[in-house]
Structure formats: C-alpha cells, structure tokens
C-alpha cells in the first residue's frame, strides 16, 4: 500500500515537471504553429508591394492608424526570426518595418510606418512554383484624375513611339536559369539597351513600361502603351523548358483565337472600349449603325494582326544574324500582353534561359547589346517601309510599297493612312485589283 502511494507521488511530480517544461518552451515561442520565414519588398512608380513568406497559411488581421500613419498586421499563432531593420531600401512609401507587442502573446505583430495614407490591398496567396504560403500587402498611391486619351491627331514630324515591356519583375522572377539566373533581370537589361539605342535614332522614341525590379499587371501594359500613343509594343522575354536541350530565339504574336475573343469584347461594349480602336474609335463610338461599327473595328483588328505578324518577320530576319533561332517563323499564342487591337504587338523570346549556353549569353552584356541592335535594325527597317502618317520617318521616307501575298489595296491604304481613292489616283488604277510584286506609289497625304 505504501509503495502504491509513492508511485502516485512520483507520477504527480513527473506531470508537474512535464507541465513546467511545456510551459517553458511555450514561453520561448516554440508553441507557434506558423512562422514568418522571410519578407520581400518591391517599389514601383505608383505602388509598393511587401510579401511575407510563411510556413503555413496565414491567419491574420490588420488595421490602419493615423498620426503617424501606420499599418498594423497581427499574425495569429506565429513567430518570426526576420531582421526587419535590414529590409528597407529607401522605399518612398514605407519609412520603417518593425515588430510590436500585442495583447495576445501568441500573436506576432508587424507594424509598417508609412509616409502617407495609401490605398491598401492585403491578400494571402497559396503555394505555387518556388513559393510557399504568402501574405501580400500592396500600398497604392492615391488615384490621379483620369486623363482622357484623345484619338491620335495628325502631327507634323512626330516621333515613332515604341513601347518596350521587360517581362516579369518584382516577386515574379520569370523563368529561372540552368545556373540560377532570373529572367526578370535579363529582360530588363536587354530592354534598357534597346531603349537607349532607339532614343539615339532621329524620329524614334522608346518608352519603358517597366524601369526597375517591380511587377506590372499584364492588362496594364497595353494600356500604358496606349497612354504613350505607342505605334508598336515589344515585350522582351527569355524562354524555358523542362530540359536543358532546347535553345534559340523566337518571336510570338497573338493567336487569331485570342484576337477574335478580344475583338468580340470590344464590339459588345463599344461605348466603354472605343479608345481601344485607334483612329476609328470615335466613329465607332458615336455611330448608330452596328454594321459600320463592326466593319471599322474588324478592319482595325485585321490591320493590327497583319502588322504584328509582318513586324515579327523583320525581327527574325535580323536576330538570326546574331543568335540561333528556335523558330524561324512567327508563333501564334494566346498572350495577355499582346491584346491591344490597335497597337501592333510582338513578344520576343531572346533565348532559352534553361539552356546553359543560352543562359550564359543572355547574361552577357555584349550579347545583350547584339540582341538589342538586331531588334533596333528590325524596327528601323519596318518603319522605313511602313512609316506612320505625320512622323519624321514618313517625311523622309521614299513612298513606295511592293505588294505582298495576301495584301489588298484597301489594307495598303489603311496601313499608310491614305484614302483608297488617292492611292488609286497616284497609281493610275481604275479598279482595286493589284498583283503580287507590283510596286505602288504612296501619296503623301489623302486628297
């Protein structure tokens, strides 16, 4: 009986000791089911994105405070080993990121001290690719009054505008190379070299859609190009595959299926989307004739699709002089960045970053410059042949056109922005019939 009571006393002591040990480790934070494993930050011209990388799906709450401006985020049942003092890189919206002590000791509180009040967007992301669970915080500058985009007006000797998109950026690294290089860095380096070359050319102006390491939404890229009244959109990328064998460059254009889908959206809501339709936009917007609206929009889409494909052939012709081609003809794919129905657009895959040799070349500044020069030559050749009306290039260009297979007289008239009647008069034509290989004189302006 005595031995029985002794065993009970020992059991009670063991339970007390175990409770103490559990409590001790809990006080050190071992209890936390989740943890903040890293924090990444990117500054863009109009926003800042902060990404918290977490071990598990975040359970969180957040609120804002004023005087001074702060964003407070409470991560439930979480801990963190991140050194927040070393995180910021002179961000224009966040002065400081620090921890604070909440009432609930099982909560990790993070405080973002802000320069001003911003539009907040906070949302979790599930694991994908190389990333695990994340909580994304976006700070957007207050919206500026919307600037009305007027239809392009004829200008004398204006510059041809080329919008250049460096693919990926920010927390989207793009493809990762055989030796670990990021596509986003390669594309920005080539884009900047291309812009520098174009801006040295009389009559040309380059607009970089992304100027630093941040992400621009796909739907925003064509819109930014349109705001800058671009005559051409070029998106720079580097390809990748599951094996290291494929290599070489390609040029992609929007597939007919995607283009037709976008066209359908435009027609369905032409009042809202009329600015997407270029010079015909105002007519399409105000006409009561649905058939006329469809015809004008279809002509714009047809012109843009054909121009995109033709420019792509110019790029391939020049790029094959400096690098191997993976595809010798333009490839049609459904791509969000190429959806503008009024701006000829191409996506250039400069090589396979997943191929060791291509990756080495793509990270070589000398090779990057060669690629940029080849694209510049393609742009020059294309616009010397098809100069937009009112540009300096048009004023200095020989106005002639050699008819290619599949071209019609009306399409050529639209390309050069002249009337069909003036084009026929300049060439002594009594009908709309033309033949492949025929050289047409292009009048300087519609009569």
Domain spanning 160-385: CATH 3.40.630.40: yes
> Collapsing DSSP states into helix, strand and coil, what is residue 346?
strand
Number of other residues whose CB lies within 10 A of the CB of residue 367 = 18
For position 302, what pLDDT does the model report?
Answer: 64
Burial (CB < 10 A; 0-12, 13-18, 19+), residue 71, is: buried
- Strand 60-65 vs strand 70-76: parallel, antiparallel, or unpaired? antiparallel
Written as six digits, the tokens of 279 are: 């010079």
**What pLDDT does residue 317 have?**
95
Longest dimension (CA), the chain: 125
Query: 72 pairs with which residues across the strands?
Result: 63, 111
Give the integer Cα–Cα distance in Å for 214 and 170. Answer: 4
pLDDT on residue 260: 44
pLDDT reported for residue 170:
87
Residue 198's Cβ-count burial label (10 Å; 0-12, 13-18, 19+) is: buried
Q: What is the DSSP letter of 397?
A: S
CB-side exposure of 163: number of CA atoms within 13 Å? 27
Cβ atoms within 10 Å, residue 319: 24
Q: Count Cα neighbours of 234 within 13 Å in the Cβ-side half-sphere.
A: 29
Q: Show Cβ contacts of residue 162 under 8 Å, excluding neighbours closer than 6 positions.
A: 198, 204, 205, 206, 207, 230, 231, 232, 233, 234, 379
Residue 205, beta-bridge partner list: 161
The boundaries of every CATH 2.60.40.3500 domain in the chain are 34-140
**Which pLDDT score is estimated for 16?**
52
- According to the model, what pLDDT value does residue 58 have? 94
Q: Which residues, given as ranges, of the chain have pLDDT below 50?
A: 1-6, 12, 15, 22, 24-29, 258-299, 446-447
List, in sequence order, every residue forming a beta bridge with 140; answer none if it has no partner: 47, 119
How many Cβ atoms are within 10 Å of 360's Cβ, its own excluded? 15
**Which segments of the chain belong to CATH 3.10.350.10?**
398-441
- Architecture category of domain 398-441 in CATH: Roll (3.10)
- Residue range 34-140 forms a domain whose CATH class is mainly beta
CATH 3.40.630.40 in the chain, residues?
A: 160-385
**Do you find a cis peptide bond into 433, omega within 30 degrees of 0?**
no
Alpha-carbon gap, residue 22 to 1, rounded angstroms: 32
- The Cβ of residue 394 has, within 10 Å, a number of other Cβ atoms equal to 24
What does the alpha-carbon distance between residue 356 and residue 249 come to, in Å, rounded to a whole number?
14
Asked if 77 contacts 59 with a C-beta cutoff of 8 angstroms, the reply is yes
* E-strand stretches of 105-212: 107-114, 119-125, 133-140, 160-166, 204-208
């Amino acid at each position: 009986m005595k031995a029985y009571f002794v065993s009970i006393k020992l059991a009670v002591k063991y339970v007390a000791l175990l409770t103490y040990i559990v409590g001790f480790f809990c006080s050190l934070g071992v209890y936390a089911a989740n943890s903040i494993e890293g924090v990444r930050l990117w500054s863009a011209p109009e926003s800042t994105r902060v990404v918290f990388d977490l071990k598990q799906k975040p359970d969180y709450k957040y609120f804002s405070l004023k005087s001074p401006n702060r964003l407070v985020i409470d991560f439930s049942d979480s801990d963190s080993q991140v050194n927040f003092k070393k995180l910021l890189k002179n961000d224009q919206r966040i002065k400081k990121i620090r921890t604070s002590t909440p009432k609930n000791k099982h909560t990790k509180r993070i405080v973002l001290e802000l320069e001003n009040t911003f539009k907040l967007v906070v949302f979790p992301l599930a694991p994908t690719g190389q990333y695990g669970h994340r909580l994304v915080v976006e700070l957007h500058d207050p919206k500026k009054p919307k600037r009305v985009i007027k239809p392009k007006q004829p200008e004398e000797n204006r510059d041809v505008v080329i919008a250049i998109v460096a693919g990926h950026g920010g927390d989207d690294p793009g493809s990762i190379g055989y030796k670990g290089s990021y596509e986003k860095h390669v594309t920005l380096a080539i884009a900047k070299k291309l812009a520098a070359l174009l801006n040295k050319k009389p009559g040309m102006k380059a607009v970089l859609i992304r100027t630093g390491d941040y992400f621009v939404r796909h739907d925003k890229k064509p819109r930014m190009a349109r705001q800058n009244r671009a005559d051409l959109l070029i998106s720079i990328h580097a390809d990748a595959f599951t094996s290291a064998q494929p290599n070489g460059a390609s040029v992609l254009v929007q597939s007919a299926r995607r283009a037709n889908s976008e066209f359908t959206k435009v027609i369905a809501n032409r009042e809202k989307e009329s600015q997407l339709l270029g010079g015909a936009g105002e007519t399409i917007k105000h006409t009561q004739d649905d058939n006329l609206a469809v015809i004008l929009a279809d002509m714009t889409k047809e012109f843009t699709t054909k121009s995109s494909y033709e420019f792509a052939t110019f790029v391939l012709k020049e790029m094959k002089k400096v690098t191997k081609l993976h595809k010798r003809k333009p490839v049609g794919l459904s791509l969000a960045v190429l959806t503008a129905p009024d701006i000829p657009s191409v996506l250039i895959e400069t090589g396979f970053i997943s191929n060791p040799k291509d990756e080495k070349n793509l990270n070589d500044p000398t090779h990057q410059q060669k690629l940029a020069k080849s694209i510049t030559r393609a742009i020059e050749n294309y616009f010397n042949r098809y100069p937009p009306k009112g540009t300096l290039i048009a004023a200095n260009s020989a106005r002639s056109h050699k008819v290619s297979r599949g071209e019609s007289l009306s399409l050529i008239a639209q390309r050069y922005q002249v009337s069909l009647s003036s084009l026929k008069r300049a060439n002594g034509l009594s009908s709309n019939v033309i033949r492949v290989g025929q050289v047409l004189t292009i009048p300087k302006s519609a009569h």
